[in-house]
Amino acid sequence: MKHNLFSYIVDGELLDQLMEGLNFPLLMLIIVVGVILLSKGADILIDGVVQLAEKTGLPKVVIGATIVSLGTTLPEAFISVMAAFMGNPGLALGNGVGSIIADTGLIFGLSAILTVIPANKYILNRTGWWQLGSAVMLVVLALTAALIAPEAPILTRWMGLFLLALLITYLAMTYMWAKKGDPSFQDEITQIPDEDQLKPGYIIWPMILGGMVMVISGSRVMIPAASQVALRLGVPQDVIAATMVAFGTSLPELTTAITALRKGHPEITVGNIVGADVLNALFVIGAAATASPLVIPSNFFIFHFPVMLLILVSFRVFIAMAKHHGDRFRRWQGAWLLGIYILYVVLQYTLQVQLPG
């Protein structure tokens, strides 16, 4: 049976099967190409975002929380919806919850250890509450589903539509706050330089979109190739499953975060991570549940949901603490979040509670 390029993009199993048939040198070449696409794509993306912020006067954290996070989570939403249609709805829930844990635990935790990250008033007063609230709402809906059908709880289509409605509200409110010049983040608005220093819009938008495509494409081919290399080097299959699923879905956010830090724009990192968490809960899972009702495995209630809430509540507490410590996060806070993520990955392996997929 012949498969087209679209099939390989949507179906991870087909991509894995393709990688299985390749020799070791070719797999290593794919990994190298993936790294190049990720690094160069992230460079182009961040440069485009900075140019857009300077041209529009919008805070970089706002653009990170909307445009960048929407771009990096769009492929996950697309793959999750197609997986639900193709009879693998568990992948959608695993993608969304696993990405929230990896984004906040691995990516933000690592970023906070590596550099000083500002906890600006915009994140404190606005989007940060959406980050926690959207995850709590997801858990509330899941618990409601468990009360309705204890034997087989399901996120129904109306629940998915409700999450999508919250997504539209989040995007609209974020846009309105930014356009009104909300005083809670006035200090984050970029000073507009001379017009001759800025690229025109017809160059900026292709930079942003092209960078996103490169980052997403690089991560899509690199993870299955790396998994196959690890397997051939003797790494157990269940260890690969426990690490690659959560890490792979958040690789675009990780690459973008590292590049933003390297280029001196940590506020893009904060905005992207917080925005990606909101979109994973409302967009990725909401769109998939709308496409096809999602069965909720029991291990989500006893393991994945509690870890997700622990990380997000910790992050919220650190935001509150930052108000009294110069509006910035501390390295020990990053270590705490990263420690939770590492423990989560280890327990997935030892307790055999891998995410679906």
Task: Kindly give the confidence (pLDDT) of every residue in the chain, 357 residues in length, as a single tens digit, with 9 standing for 90 and above.
Answer: 455 555 555 556 677 778 888 888 898 888 888 778 877 877 787 788 778 777 776 666 677 677 777 776 776 676 677 667 666 666 678 878 888 998 899 989 988 898 888 776 666 667 888 999 999 999 999 999 999 998 889 999 999 999 999 999 988 887 777 666 554 444 444 444 445 456 777 788 888 888 878 877 777 777 778 778 877 887 665 556 556 655 666 777 777 788 888 877 777 778 788 888 998 899 889 988 998 898 898 889 998 999 999 999 999 999 888 766 667 888 999 999 999 999 988 888 777 665 655
Dihedral over alpha carbons 113, 116, 119, 123 (to 10 degrees) = -70
Tell me what pLDDT residue 186 has: 46
Contact 60, 49 (CB under 8 A): yes
Instruction: Return the number of other C-beta atoms located less than 10 Å from residue 236's C-beta.
Output: 11
Name 12's Cβ contacts closer than 8 Å, sequence gap at least 6.
Answer: 79, 91, 224, 357
Tell me what pLDDT residue 353 has: 60
Dihedral over Cα of 62, 68, 70, 73: its sign: negative
Contact 305, 142 (CB under 8 A): yes
What b-and-e string marks burial along 159-184, b requiring 16 or more CB atoms within 10 Å of the CB?
A: bbebbbebbeebbeebeebbeeebee
Tell me what pLDDT residue 180 has: 65
Helix (H, G, I), strand (E, B) or coil at 295: strand
CA dist 251 and 343 (Å) reads 19
Tally helices (H) and strands (E) across the chain: 18, 2
Domains, the chain:
59-193+234-351 (1.20.1420.30)
Q: Which residues pair with 295 in a beta bridge?
A: 154
Amino acid at 241: A
Where do the H-state alpha helices sit in 21-156?
Answer: 24-56, 60-63, 69-85, 90-101, 109-114, 121-122, 128-148
pTM of the shown model: 0.77
Tell me what pLDDT residue 152 has: 86
Shortest CA distance to 91 belongs to which of 101, 103, 78?
A: 78
CA dist 27 and 117 (Å) reads 36
Q: What are phi and psi of 177, to 5 degrees?
A: -60, -45
Return the axis-axis angle of helices 201-232 and 251-262, rounded to nearest 10°: 120
